[in-house]
Structure 1
């Protein structure tokens, strides 16, 4: 803390994945707009040039007159140099390249297995996990050595397994996963207040919810604004909008625009009608946790969500790269507009500048009964000075708990397969995923092809799956 009351200075943040074209810039702008903190942010990335571009942008942002939070930005050429003495570590990486993701997402389509995202569960999520877990194991070892007291904030998917790996390798780590999917659900509830109760301009943070589940398979069973029960409003909306989704009326009221669809989507209301809980993650993520035949086999547009292709992701990355270069060359001005992310707010709370409640991914300490102790779950947590305290949420309804448990136990299997290099064990998890609705021999053929597609990131093999060149 510096000499001014209520001001935290001299904070050191390490950003692993500091060459990010998207998340890093949001963080730097959010830091500039927060006047109660200052310090140094050290960027580390295997693409050192990309990290240097972000350092240049960050220092320019900090020099802007409207930047009330002053930070210096530099690039470290090794991970130990980046980590040493840090108070916070942010991890936001792309595990592998879009070449590997191309196989993750599109190879299963030859067998009728479609994935709307392919980064959390399903065959794509599993393969992404196999190459990501060894990376996170190394991050955990280095954090334990160079900054064991640092708070670690993970943004990378698969969120659950990234966070779980950090704790498996360094049990004393202070880590949690942050996901913004729940924020959209809060915004939807705010929109319902306007449409059904005539109450406008309610910020999502003013809405109180009880969140429970695992990342990207999260649910709300209680929601309120002041004395208004928002579950009742959601039920009314489901009855009215279950066929077309929540669409703005003639006066423009309604949920936020998300691409060409509006939220909640028909599939959200369908899930609500089945389980009685509000889905708290995007439709593209939620459907991947459920049996293939329910929503993804025919990827029927009536459900209101589409499939994100890797080609679209490549195009998005190219646009972000071009924008970054334009900013570095001074051709595009930098606009200081706060992002909806909560990373800076969380850091502010942890250094003692206010407490609040938000959703977090943390090891289960009993906050969700019926889920194994130590498995990473998503619930609310209270953020305060050097403390993250999970909120006890209660059990999931049995039908949802059955689905969640299947994935929790599968994720534990994947964790061990990746740490041991046992790809036969990994195949057992592959077979057990509800999207892999094909015969065992077909599954083996697909699994082998997908292993080949990500072999550059696999540290070793055992069992029956031998990869040439490894």
Structure 2
């Protein structure tokens, strides 16, 4: 087979390498072309060198091109994969820092909450530019695979306004299944049969079976509470399981910021999180992790390049959906996964226009969703609260309506649990001014926002958050990795 895959944001080096090697685990795909594009020439050349080394080491005819000209990369593409972070770590730092001044403590801030909503405002205009280029330059039946957060908002914009056949992909379901298999004593997730449904980062294991035997709430709670690690790391997630009756796919830290109950006061935050790793609830945890990862890669690049000389091991193909979807579409080998698509009645008690995450099957006819799923009422209520925020956020990003943007942030569950309307109005003004370089749709609103900030009497505070860790140096990271290696 011969076709072209364009990867936008290919400078996300580690993730691009994973997608690349996963796709090349499909024997029929050895003769395809990967067209890499990114705004960073530096990152682009680093990842191209790694992928070229993989191709050479495995003696493949695969072609790899790299260009900062996105339109050139998209010409003739059958598949387009996006893993962009508009504004990079600079803008992301403001997504965490500014809300902290108003008492809003986020672990990740890339889905909803104040940070995720502003992230969506930066991404959506760019997503629509991608879609315009895709419509003009790619194959007629091109499929757009979006890995970028905020997943639901980006996918919503691409489908509704970009008019491109789009599916959003995430790995939260797979990671949740791995945890469940471990606590239940299964040898692998192959022993589990499960249905997860909801919205991205708020998806729920509504049907769970181990070797055909149904697993109920009480058995699952007992299994998690007995686990020596997860009982400590996933306290909030276990509490939600006890109250809702079903397990969330999302990590302790992620889940904590989509709900109005666990991060509303500093003493409550420290009660529910665990500091052994960023993903369990640390303030700004993903920002710290991303910063350390970038610094580590820049410093240790020669080792990454050397590792690329090893043969591809098909047994280590990851559970990221992209390669499996492409394999199913091109070879008709059926793949079952969980995908982010427009609802259109797939989940009976969520709005039709929402982007849902739910089970589907892929073959040469496309992605076919399992319809007629009804969520438990509490799960649906939680999802709907987020969907309402997502809908307003997408409409604000499209229209450049700063008042609608403020209403979207005001209706966010965690923001509403912490901040007053006056604080929200000022916080949004401050974030829009700080991120103006990435928010062209709000250019007309920036002067007035800046003027309001100069006369505002709303008090803020310089606060690092309830559970902040400093970014570790390369030396500290090396020492930690060495200690883990010795202990292991």
TM-score interval, normalised by the smaller of the two chains:
0.7 to 0.9
1:321-344 residue CA offsets vs partner (Å, 9 max, x unmatched) = 33335444x488557443332321
Alpha-carbon distance in 2 for matches of 1:338, 1:23:
13
Residue aligning to 1:188? 179
CA-atom RMSD in angstroms: 2.4
Residue 92 of structure 2: which of 97, 101, 105 is its match? 101
Shift of 1:130: 0.8
Alpha-carbon distance in 1 for matches of 2:289, 2:247:
29
Alpha-carbon distance in 1 for matches of 2:18, 2:232:
24
Matches within 5 A, 1:370-381: 370-381=349-360
- Give the number of the structure whose residues are more often helix, by fraction: 2
Shift of 1:205: 4.5
The SS at the match of 2:111 is coil
Alpha-carbon distance in 2 for matches of 1:279, 1:387:
28
The answer to whether the 8 A contact 2:8-2:37 is kept is yes
Alpha-carbon distance in 1 for matches of 2:61, 2:250:
34
Alpha-carbon distance in 2 for matches of 1:117, 1:12:
33
- Asked if 1:349 corresponds to 2:328, the answer is yes
After alignment, is 153-162 or 282-291 more displaced?
Answer: 282-291
Alpha-carbon distance in 2 for matches of 1:227, 1:414:
41
Against the structure 1 CA distance between its residues 346 and 448, is the aligned structure 2 distance closer, same or farther, given a 3 Å change threshold?
A: same
The answer to whether the 8 A contact 1:219-1:278 is kept is yes
The SS at the match of 2:414 is coil
- Asked if 1:60 corresponds to 2:45, the answer is no
The answer to whether the 8 A contact 2:354-2:387 is kept is yes
The SS at the match of 2:2 is strand
The answer to whether the 8 A contact 2:237-2:252 is kept is yes
Alpha-carbon distance in 2 for matches of 1:385, 1:263:
44
Residue 456 of structure 1: which of 421, 425, 437 is its match? 437
The answer to whether the 8 A contact 1:160-1:361 is kept is yes
Alpha-carbon distance in 2 for matches of 1:369, 1:269:
26
Against the structure 1 CA distance between its residues 442 and 278, is the aligned structure 2 distance closer, same or farther, given a 3 Å change threshold?
A: same
The answer to whether the 8 A contact 1:95-1:131 is kept is yes
Residue aligning to 2:157? 165
Against the structure 1 CA distance between its residues 344 and 247, is the aligned structure 2 distance closer, same or farther, given a 3 Å change threshold?
A: same
Aligned length: 434
- Asked if 1:239 corresponds to 2:222, the answer is yes
Residue aligning to 2:293? 316
The answer to whether the 8 A contact 2:53-2:309 is kept is no
Residue aligning to 1:253? none
The answer to whether the 8 A contact 2:433-2:446 is kept is no
The SS at the match of 1:339 is coil
Shift of 1:467: 5.0
Alpha-carbon distance in 1 for matches of 2:128, 2:194:
33
Residue aligning to 1:14? 6
Shift of 1:301: 4.3
Residue aligning to 2:110? 119
**Which segments of 5 or more consecutive residues in structure 2 lack a partner in the other structure?**
275-279, 452-488
Residue aligning to 1:138? 129
The answer to whether the 8 A contact 1:423-1:465 is kept is no
The SS at the match of 1:314 is helix
**Which segments of 5 or more consecutive residues in structure 1 lack a partner in the other structure?**
1-8, 195-199, 249-260
The answer to whether the 8 A contact 1:246-1:265 is kept is no
The answer to whether the 8 A contact 2:237-2:247 is kept is yes
Alpha-carbon distance in 2 for matches of 1:331, 1:125:
34
Alpha-carbon distance in 1 for matches of 2:424, 2:263:
20
Residue aligning to 2:202? 217
Shift of 1:351: 0.7
The SS at the match of 1:381 is strand
Alpha-carbon distance in 1 for matches of 2:325, 2:234:
30
Matches within 5 A, 1:27-106: 27-38=19-30, 39-65=32-58, 70-106=61-97
Against the structure 1 CA distance between its residues 18 and 332, is the aligned structure 2 distance closer, same or farther, given a 3 Å change threshold?
A: closer
The SS at the match of 1:394 is coil
Matches within 5 A, 1:258-407: 265-291=234-260, 293-295=261-263, 297-298=265-266, 299-304=269-274, 305-307=280-282, 308=285, 310-328=287-305, 330=306, 334=310, 336=312, 337-392=316-371, 394-407=373-386
Shift of 1:27: 1.5
Shift of 1:49: 2.8
Against the structure 1 CA distance between its residues 51 and 263, is the aligned structure 2 distance closer, same or farther, given a 3 Å change threshold?
A: farther
Alpha-carbon distance in 1 for matches of 2:202, 2:318:
24
The answer to whether the 8 A contact 1:89-1:153 is kept is yes
Against the structure 1 CA distance between its residues 376 and 177, is the aligned structure 2 distance closer, same or farther, given a 3 Å change threshold?
A: same
Alpha-carbon distance in 2 for matches of 1:371, 1:389:
18
The SS at the match of 2:153 is helix
The answer to whether the 8 A contact 2:224-2:231 is kept is no
Against the structure 1 CA distance between its residues 325 and 426, is the aligned structure 2 distance closer, same or farther, given a 3 Å change threshold?
A: farther
